[in-house]
Structure 1
Amino acid sequence: MPLASGRTVAALRGRSGAITLGLVGYLFFVEFVSGVLQGYYIPLIPDLVDHLGIRDADFNWFEAAQLLLSAIVVPVLAKLGDMLGHKRILLVSTVLTAAASWWLAFAGDFWSFLIAWTLQGFYVVWLPLEVALIFDRGRATNRAASDTRRAAGFLVVALEAGAIAGALGGGRLFEALDGDVTLALMVPAASVTIAFFAILWGVPESARVTGRRLDTVGFALLTLALLTITSGLTFLRINGPDALWVYALMALGVLLLLPFGRWVLRHPDPAIDLRVLRQPTMWPVQLTAGLLGVSILGAQAPLSTFAGTDPAEAGFGLGLSASAISTIIGAYLIAMIIGALLFPVVSRRTTPRIALIVGTLLIAAGYLAFLINSATSLGVTLNMVVAGIGSGALVAALPAAAAAAAPLGQTGIATGLTNTTKTIGGSFASAVFAVVLVFAAGQAAVGTAASLAGYLVVFGICGVTALVAAGVLVLVPRSAFADAPAERVPDRVG
């Protein structure tokens, strides 16, 4: 259960049938498990590579396949949550994640492990569904938006705390089990199984709007477009910038969005309502989520390799060991927790729009500081703490903002799209950053300045995209995402 101030406890506890402390507590545990899944396997990667008899580079396929799955399934599952109930789809995604996690524990070859690892990615829809469910429960009050911001902040605290616990505990538990891979991988599988029962017994169902039907053609067109675009980005990162067919593949994916757009504009209950998406309170949120993915997902690998580069050999970098890099990552995650908790406070004292802009400016400041402050471990840690506070605020704020801007019956798809656009932004950045660093390494024969310039370009892109996000959010109406009068909602089901 999360710790909360007396005012927050009263706010969450005081609404029968709305956003309750118990509801947030159960979802807090679910997000903690989500964080464990994201952190637990990282220290085990070298041992998993040996266990499967593969090369280190082959592990990239696991991460790429899971990103592909998340980009495709989140919109569909989020829409189904709006139609059938967010709790119901949350349970379905948890069952799929649990089954894949148990499969991972017993997978002994590359292909079975790849399939299981990919299917485990169904957990990415948990946070969007949880935020949609929380906002839906609060529609009967006039504090749905502000209460959802507070609750989303607690969920991100749980997510990052779980990631820290998983990263710290995974390696230690593996050693305690004498290197038994199967037993070690059964721990996250058991955690997901427990999370299923926490949802089943502790989470009430959201309202369901009757008369809905799934736009299968729209989702098929969207899936095909997203699969083509993200596949192209993945192959660009793997094959390099000289593979011209990769660009053709990405261009084809963009072109496939045109028939998708024409179809959904004619459909009475479209896969994604573009009319809602183009509203001044919605499109800046979704664009900001995509730009956030550039730094929060795309910059992970460059940051680690920069910190591990030996300055005695390369002329730049920090030369840190794996444990020292983990310390910097831990500081970043703790900063994200602080940012998630501060966002509702800043929103209450100013406006949600201003708080969002402040978060993007902190990310920009943190990454742009690398251009002048990247020679020491302390400097890099300070940069990441500043960026982490802004990142934590936005990870909590963007799904809540999308929920507040969405009409009744479209809360899930609105929050889910923030995850999809973030994933696409991260995939795009990962591919571009890989090309930049490879090109810089190729120029390093002239001197070490070329390789350093490559990293500085990466950090500069992260900072500039955050500044662009801040500029986009300035266009949002000043009163956006604030509490609205209570809405009449359909009877609860489930």
Structure 2
Amino acid sequence: MKTNNSIEETLMVTVDPSTIEELQVDDTKRGLGFALLALSAAGLIVSLQQTVVIPLLPQLATQLHTNVAGVTWLFTGALLAGAVATPLLSRFGDMYGKKRMILLCMCTLIAGSIICAFANSLGTYIAGRSLQGISAAMIPLAIGLIRDLFPRERLTTAIGVVSGTIGVGGTVGMLITGLIANETTNPHPVFWLTAGLGVAATALIATTIKDVGVRHGGKPDYAGAILLATLLVCLLLAISEGPQWGWTSRSVVGLFGAATVLCVIWILVELKVSQPLVRLPLLVGAKSLSANLASAFLGFAMFGFISLMSNFVQTPHEKFGYGLSGSVLAVGLYGVPTAVLMTFFSFQAGRIVARIGAAYTLAIGAAFAGSASLWLAAFNTHGYDMVISNILQGTGFGIGYAALGTLAVQHVSMGESGIASGINALVRTAGGSIAGALTASILSAYTIAGTDFPTLHGYIISFTILGVGALIAAAIAVGHGLKYRGE
């Protein structure tokens, strides 16, 4: 009878050590593959919840007895919550573990979805949507976790895949909403679906991902978070309600003034505390500033485009002389090219980045994204105009968002990757929040006489502004690439 030692000796003789090493490599690759699948699924659902309500806004405005500016807060409120939660939870991720914070994000998504599934008033919907919006912090946390988990040669592709889920999930969300709305006028099933998908993604993350990376101590900057939330609320409320209250009214002027004062106080607080919510060098530092500005303008263009497209498609042409007379389902179907192309380019962007760099890749994507909005500003009378625009959008955001995820973290240390990605996501989400408030303000200012319904001119102005915003992002990215060539 052989002893344990003799068995081990026999195995060492009969099994090639290189075979054992190959098996270990395969096992590691398989584990990373499951981790990327879990993070991509979560990213898809997080981005899905951001836009799932957009096709329902016209219907909800009627059901909740509110106007365009009021119902837009169902979209803007979620973005605002995400803008505030992102740097805070990114900081928590560096302190307590990124996986733990990702799971927390998914739990808030589930809770917010359940609240919306029972909601019957605007205030309740906004509360639920705000909870859902907190989950936006999951994307930068996932990018930070990828830097902890993946080898350097696979980083760009992995970050590109997760970043690409932002637009894909947004388009899929509108398609799912359309399919449900085609069967019922009750919006609640949409939120039950997001809750169920959230539970599935949470289980997948809990069972497939290891929480690795260096932990950092410290205290959370709650004062910074409260100040940031308050100043953003003041700013967005002033922008969205300006046409209704009057731009020179005491309320609007007071809100703008309060936002300015709070911004100054927030900066002073962030400079004073030892561990600020937003490290200003990572926000406005030499290499960070251009990446963050490009992110803000690209988020402005993307979220603004998605919200406008939904309303424009559903505008009855026979009644108002413009629009595509589409259903909620049509909104999702028009977005299919966007989802397909964003999926394709999120996988290809890594190769483009490796060849020409993240900055120039971002510039190409942003240029395509800008052309999508400008196309609709010039050509908007036929369904194929919307298809062409969505093809341009899918190409642009698929390339641009994947490159942006890399640009945001490539100049920082591994220990700062979570907060750097979080700050970049904060300004992107803030840009989207401003786009939602600004376009709602423009559409409220240009209405058909005797109605609250926007004119075509209001849409043209809005699409033009969004297109210019994306082109500004492209110019900033080119400038970044030229300035830091070879670094």
Per the TM superposition, whether the score is higher than 0.5 is yes
1:458 deviates by 1.8
Name the residue aligned to 2:34.
Answer: 22
Name the residue aligned to 2:162.
Answer: 155
Name the residue aligned to 1:101.
Answer: 113
| Residue type at the aligned position of 1:148 | L
* Partners of 1:352 and 1:481 within 8 A in 2: no
Name the residue aligned to 2:89.
Answer: 77
Q: Aligned partners of 1:308, 1:101: CA distance in 2, in Å?
A: 25
* Partners of 1:363 and 1:386 within 8 A in 2: yes
* Partners of 1:310 and 1:316 within 8 A in 2: yes
Q: Aligned partners of 1:251, 1:353: CA distance in 2, in Å?
A: 36
Q: Aligned partners of 1:231, 1:303: CA distance in 2, in Å?
A: 22
1:425 deviates by 1.7
Instruction: Report matched runs for 1:247-326 at 5 Å.
Output: 247-312=253-318, 314-326=320-332
Name the residue aligned to 1:463.
Answer: 467
- TM-superposition CA deviations, 1:323-352 (whole Å, max 9, x none): 433322222333332332332121122222
Q: Aligned partners of 2:41, 2:284: CA distance in 1, in Å?
A: 35
1:380 deviates by 2.9
Please say if 1:380 is aligned against 2:392. Answer: no
* Partners of 2:359 and 2:407 within 8 A in 1: no
Pair 1:312–1:169, CA change in 2 (3 A): closer
Pair 1:407–1:268, CA change in 2 (3 A): farther
Gaps of 5+ in 2: 1-21
Tell me the secondary structure at the aligned position of residue 210 of structure 1.
coil
Name the residue aligned to 2:144.
Answer: 132
| Count of residue pairs brought into register by the alignment | 460
- TM-superposition CA deviations, 1:463-489 (whole Å, max 9, x none): 22222212211222559699x9xxxxx
Q: Aligned partners of 1:134, 1:40: CA distance in 2, in Å?
A: 27
More off after superposition, 430-439 vs 406-415: 430-439
| Residue among 460, 464, 478 paired with 1:474 | 478
Q: Aligned partners of 1:137, 1:43: CA distance in 2, in Å?
A: 37
Q: TM-score, normalised by structure 1?
A: 0.80
* Partners of 1:368 and 1:460 within 8 A in 2: yes
More off after superposition, 310-319 vs 349-358: 310-319
Gaps of 5+ in 1: 1-9, 485-494
- TM-superposition CA deviations, 1:196-249 (whole Å, max 9, x none): 222222111131333433233333433333333233334347656464522431
Q: Aligned partners of 2:354, 2:246: CA distance in 1, in Å?
A: 47
Larger Rg: 1 or 2? 2
- TM-superposition CA deviations, 1:100-146 (whole Å, max 9, x none): 323333445554444233212222111111011111324xx443xxx
Q: Aligned partners of 2:376, 2:58: CA distance in 1, in Å?
A: 29
Pair 1:400–1:14, CA change in 2 (3 A): farther
More off after superposition, 328-337 vs 349-358: 328-337
* Partners of 1:367 and 1:383 within 8 A in 2: yes
Structural RMSD (CA):
3.6
Name the residue aligned to 2:231.
Answer: 225
Instruction: Report matched runs for 1:379-398 at 5 Å.
Output: 379-398=385-404
| Residue type at the aligned position of 1:303 | M
Counting aligned pairs with the same residue, the percent is 23
1:25 deviates by 1.5
Please say if 1:409 is aligned against 2:421. Answer: no
* Partners of 1:337 and 1:389 within 8 A in 2: no
1:303 deviates by 2.7
> Higher helix fraction: Structure 1 or Structure 2?
2
Pair 1:236–1:415, CA change in 2 (3 A): farther
Q: Aligned partners of 1:186, 1:159: CA distance in 2, in Å?
A: 21
Q: TM-score, normalised by structure 2?
A: 0.81
Q: Aligned partners of 1:148, 1:479: CA distance in 2, in Å?
A: 24
Name the residue aligned to 2:4.
Answer: none
Q: Aligned partners of 2:181, 2:476: CA distance in 1, in Å?
A: 46
Pair 1:279–1:318, CA change in 2 (3 A): same
* Partners of 1:405 and 1:481 within 8 A in 2: no
Pair 1:471–1:106, CA change in 2 (3 A): closer
| Residue among 421, 435, 441 paired with 2:427 | 421
Name the residue aligned to 1:337.
Answer: 343
More off after superposition, 265-274 vs 235-244: 235-244
